[in-house]
């Protein structure tokens, strides 16, 4: 069995810098068109000069590996120092989106990130993104209550929902991407939100749940992660997973698009320092999403309709959200079992497990 599909975009990747980018670049830049390259590097990409430099680095690697379809879309990070002027100048310097990771929520957001409790003070920056014609991408998790109590990781996305609603109401003219949705409730919110609101969905939340990845240590019920699958937002419950698959494979999906949120770390950083993020190569992710579509829909739909829905999720809806032209090239997927190989020092998503489809290289 074979399927010809439209070339995918991957609008959420952490390429990193230094040694790491040299190792992982070809895995994250091949087989894809537009790729949103997140700027939460150790020195944040939060101003025009950094945007230009990072984009140049990525284009240099594109030339080195001769990846003709790869189009890097660099983000400018929101910080407590951001202003509408910095956003405008960064877009002029080549930024294709603004990225907001609230303070203390994930890698690189630490002290510089804007807390959800203060986000309303920065709505002018989100409006500036809209005026410049680029989307505002946001990670929605509340890590601490207003009086500093840490919130359980499983509950953080739910606790951010009032802030999502406030921003949607107060920034009506900017395209807002609700990044890496992991819960039923946030997916429902995006489904019924105005047409400028999109949601991105990462493969790990479609294929894993928290249950095999937590070990409960009785009697205090505190949980521990399988650190290799630790990511933010953390993996959720079976109901959440079912909802995400229903949204992505729906006949009339106009809101949800696919991402990997690939975020590589060295093995020691995962096991010892418990860094959040999973490294998902495109040649693993693309056939796995196809597999989800194929096996969920094949008893009900013709292959042509499955391809149409897959193309919406993998390529077309992200192009609509970001105003990118549609990819006019195709990939051939072939039904064939293969085992995902590992990589020295960097743990790989689905490593050692089988995938039932493969990208056929020309």
Q: By CB under 5 A, how many residues form the interface with Zn ion?
A: 1
Residue of minimal CB distance from Zn ion?
261
The residue among 14 and 309 lying less far from Zn ion, judged by its C-beta, is 14
DSSP for residue 176: E
Percentages of the chain per state (helix, strand, coil), in multiples of 5: 40, 20, 40
* Pair of tokens at residue 152: 């359980």
CB of 268 to Zn ion, least distance (A): 21
Least spacing, CB of residue 263 vs Zn ion, in Å:
6
Footprint of Zn ion on 297-336 (CB under 5 A): none
Closest separation between CB of residue 275 and Zn ion, Å?
Answer: 12
Q: Is 46 in the site for Zn ion (CB under 5 A)?
A: no
Smallest separation (angstroms) from Zn ion to the CB of 77: 12
- To Zn ion, the closest distance from the beta carbon of 181 in angstroms equals 12
Determine contact, residues 323/133, Cβ cutoff 8 Å. Answer: yes
User: In angstroms, rounded to a whole number, what is the distance separating the alpha carbons of residues 29 and 61?
Assistant: 9
Nearer to Zn ion, 157 or 261 (CB): 261
Residue 219 burial (C-beta neighbours within 10 Å; 0-12, 13-18, 19+): exposed
Report the C-alpha gap between 6 and 12 in whole angstroms: 18
Residue with smaller CB distance to Zn ion, 97 or 359: 97
Which residues within the stretch 252-271 sit at the binding site for Zn ion (CB under 5 A)? 261
Task: Report the candidate in 147, 143, 172 with the shortest Cα–Cα distance to residue 158.
Answer: 143
Please, what is the minimum distance in Å from the beta carbon of residue 295 to Zn ion? 27
Select 108 or 130, whichever has its Cβ closest to Zn ion: 108
Q: Which of 352, 354, 347 is nearest to 23 (CA)?
A: 347
Closest to Zn ion by CB, 141 or 357 = 141
Q: Which is nearer to Zn ion, 3 or 259 (CB)?
A: 259
Question: CB 195 → Zn ion: shortest distance, Å?
Answer: 24
Of 62, 31, 15, 68, which is closest to residue 357 (Cα–Cα)?
31
- For the CB of residue 38, give the shortest distance to Zn ion in the complex, in Å: 5
- Spatial neighbors of 262 by CB under 8 A, at least 6 apart, are 10, 13, 14, 24, 28, 277, 278, 279, 280, 281, 285, 349
317: enclosing H helix or E strand: helix 317-322
- CB nearer Zn ion, residue 5 or residue 164: 164
DSSP 3-state of 164: helix
Binding mask 165-204 for Zn ion (x = CB under 5 A): ----------------------------------------
In the complex with Zn ion, which residue's Cβ is closer, 259 or 306? Answer: 259
The C-alpha R_g of the chain, in whole angstroms, comes to: 19
Contacts with Zn ion, residue ranges (CB under 5 A): 261
């Amino acid at each position: 069995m074979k399927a010809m599909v439209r070339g995918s975009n991957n609008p959420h990747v952490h390429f990193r810098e230094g040694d790491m980018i040299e190792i992982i670049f070809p895995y994250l830049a091949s087989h894809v068109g537009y790729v949103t390259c997140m700027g939460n590097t150790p020195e944040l990409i939060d101003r025009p000069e950094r945007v230009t430099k990072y984009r140049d680095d990525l284009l240099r690697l594109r030339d080195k590996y001769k990846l003709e379809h790869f189009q890097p879309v660099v983000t400018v990070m929101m910080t407590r120092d951001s202003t509408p002027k910095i956003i405008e100048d960064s877009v002029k310097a080549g930024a294709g989106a603004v990225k907001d990771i609230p303070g203390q929520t994930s890698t690189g957001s630490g002290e510089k990130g804007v807390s959800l409790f203060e986000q309303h003070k920065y709505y002018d920056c989100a409006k500036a993104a809209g005026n410049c014609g680029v989307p505002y991408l946001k990670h929605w998790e509340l890590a601490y209550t207003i009086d500093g109590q840490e919130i359980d990781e499983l509950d953080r996305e739910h606790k951010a929902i009032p802030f999502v609603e406030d921003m949607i109401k107060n920034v009506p003219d900017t395209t807002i991407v609700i990044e890496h949705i992991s819960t039923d409730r946030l997916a429902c919110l995006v489904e019924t939100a105005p047409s400028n609101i999109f949601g991105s969905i990462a493969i790990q939340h479609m294929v894993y749940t928290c249950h095999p990845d937590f070990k409960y240590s009785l009697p205090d019920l505190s949980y521990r992660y399988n650190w290799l699958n630790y990511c933010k937002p953390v993996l959720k419950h079976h109901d959440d997973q079912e909802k995400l698959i229903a949204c992505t494979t729906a006949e009339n999906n106009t809101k949800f698009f696919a991402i990997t949120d690939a975020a590589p770390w060295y093995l020691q950083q995962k096991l010892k320092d418990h860094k959040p993020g999973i490294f998902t190569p495109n040649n693993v992710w693309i056939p796995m999403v196809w597999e989800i579509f194929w096996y969920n829909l094949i008893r009900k739909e013709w292959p042509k309709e499955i391809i149409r829905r897959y193309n919406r999720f993998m390529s077309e809806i992200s192009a609509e959200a970001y105003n990118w032209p549609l990819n006019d090239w195709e990939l051939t997927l072939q039904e064939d079992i293969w085992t995902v190989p590992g990589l020295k020092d960097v743990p790989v998503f689905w490593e050692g497990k089988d995938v039932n489809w493969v990208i056929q290289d020309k």
